[in-house]
Chains A and B, each alone.
Chain A
Amino acid sequence: MNALFAWGFVAALAALPLVFPDPYLLAVLTSAGIFIIGAISLNLLLGYTGQLSLGHVAFFGLGAYASALATLGFDIGIGFGWRVVLAPQPVWLGFLAAIVVAGGFGWLLGRLAFRVRGAYFVIITICFAQVLRMVALNWVELTQGPMALISIPPFSLWWPGQGVVPLYRKDQNYWLVLAVAVLAFLLVRQVVRSRIGRALVALRANEPLARSVGIRVTHYLVIAAVLSAGIAGAAGSLFAHYVRIVDPDVFLFIYTVTMVIMVVTGGKGTLWGPVVGGLVFGLMPDLLRGTAPPEAQWIIYGAAMILFVMFLPRGIVPALARRLP
């Protein structure tokens, strides 16, 4: 897709709240946007390295918890009578903490899990997310367990002339998510178009050959894992400060599946795939809520997914790219 069209698309999205200031529409688009950021990050792993991470929501959840805990502060015992105490921090620090914590776990998981590939990697990533969910449920002193972390402050930005402004309004949050999504998209684009991206695609296409021309497998897979996890962590942070409540269900498997569906139906290994797939499958549940009877909604959702995978096995974006000159 050419740059003019892309920036036109972004401008149209940015102008949307001015034309349709409907809070419900903006809320739907904002949640979809948060998941699209997650899908963009997953695409870097699934699409460009070919490694299926079925625990991707772990990084999203880590980001949500890291950001929420940093902004709420905590006071926990770590044994031997020692305590770790953190006073509430500003939200931008929470956002950074989300990226760093998620990215750090991405590095750790990459180091450990990329020794095995294929099915074993998939299993390790699923277990990783499940373990984190258990920790979130049971480490009540830190996470409040199933009682959830509540009263998380909204995102706040420094604005010229007004100082630090908390973003309470729907349109503000919408623009924030849009801006982060654009940054995430550009980050991934820069990486996949660079020598690093070429190395990732080479490893996906033919690993023995890639190694024979000197491409370091673990090095490049870990770079991809760290970036991917960091972006997912940023999405988690946005989620925490938008919904303003975080419970252990952010680690639910279904959210990973949602992101995988977005990437695969949109077109894995294409820059626009997760955006297009994310818009289709991020907005569909809410569209159906208004039009289909409740018992039919998820059936239609599932049927649409199967049809997309059957008739456009490589995804919507590659299919469109072939139609258009």
Chain B
Amino acid sequence: MTDVLLSVEGLGVQIGGLTAIADMSFTVPAGEVVSLIGPNGAGKTTAFNVITGYMRPTRGRILFEGRPIAGLAPERIAARGLVRSFQRTSVFAGCTVFENALMALHLRGRAGLLDALLPFLRARREEAALHAEAADLLDLTGLADRAGLPAEALAYGEQRRLGIAMAAAAHPRLLLLDEPAAGLNPSETADCIALIRGLKERGMTVLLVEHDMAMVMRLSDRIVVLNQGRIIASGPPAAIRQDPEVIRAYLGAAHAAA
């Protein structure tokens, strides 16, 4: 068995009187792509928000590399090497694509106030390195020729790709992707799959929330199925596809026929 990178233990989340997540436990082994699937309202995005510090859990533990992270601020969790992408707003509007990449590389730099005032000490070298890294990042995503455009001027699929690249920019050990293919056409989805594969090859572990079943089946090493705040199945794609409860709750007759 490989090392466990993320482990969610007995997680429960109440929002007002509503139970968003009843009792959730799963692990993400290092180096794998794990997908979290389930119908709308199953608690997938809530799970993401809690794991990345945007919401507080009501109970349960979240361990990242063996250390508890539940309740830490998002920026602290990001600094530990766990970064997410967002379902919708995923770029810094009003800034160019290149500036977006630079901003996403925040954790790769260390320059503080003294460096801002005396850039010749070391900040100039650091800035040059960050610029080079930002250029690499845009090469990786195929957005190099768009570097000077305002980020919001990008096509929707390109914005999504930039969003993923930005989440991956600072080389997190665990990357959480929230519906990266939502609203993409088939060729954009293919680009997106290629991008995620590329990130996995670079040693990143990925936790994915996605509705596009074809994409989930192609990318995942393991799938966790949620329904109404509970895990109803987990295992490799082949097993999930055959699981009767999963088919009834989520995949439905259409998928069984496909």
Contacts and interface: CB of A to CB of B under 8 A. Distances in A.
Contacts of B105: 213
A287 interface: no
Interface residues of A, number: 25
B24 interface: no
Given A198-B106, A202-B103, A211 B95 contact: no
Interface stretch (B116-124, B192-200, B201-209, B245-253): B116-124
Contact of A208 (B54, B109, B113): B54
A190 B117 contact: yes
Interface stretch (B39-47, B81-89, B210-218, B231-239): B81-89
A212 B92 contact: no
A197 B111 CA distance: 11
Contact of A191 (B76, B85, B113): B113
- Determine which residue in A194, A197, A209 has the highest number of CB atoms from chain B within 10 A of its CB, and name it: A209
A205 interface: yes
Interface in B88-127: 89-95, 99, 102-107, 109, 111-113, 115-117, 119, 123, 126-127
B75 interface: yes
Interface string A200-231: 01100110111111111100000100000000
Contacts of B92: 201-202, 205-206, 209-210
B55 to A, nearest CB: 12
Interface on chain A toward B: helix, strand, loop, or mixed SS?
A: helix
Given A212-B74, A214-B79, A216-B75, A198 B99 contact: yes
B83 A210 contact: no
A215 B95 contact: no
Nearest to B130: A195
Nearest to A215: B106
B93 A206 contact: yes
A195 B115 CA distance: 9
A187 B118 CA distance: 10
A191 B94 CA distance: 19
Contact of B83 (A196, A197, A214): A214
B116 A214 contact: no
Given A208-B54, A212-B86, A199 B93 contact: no
A213 B115 contact: no
A212 B102 contact: no
A211 B116 contact: no
A178 to B, nearest CB: 21
Q: Which 8 A-B pairs have the closest CB atoms?
A: A194-B116, A214-B78, A205-B92, A214-B107, A211-B74, A202-B103, A195-B111, A211-B75
Interface of B: 52, 54, 73-76, 78-79, 83-86, 89-95, 99, 102-107, 109, 111-113, 115-117, 119, 123, 126-127, 130, 166-167, 169-170
5 contacts: A208-B54, A210-B106, A211-B75, A212-B78, A214-B79
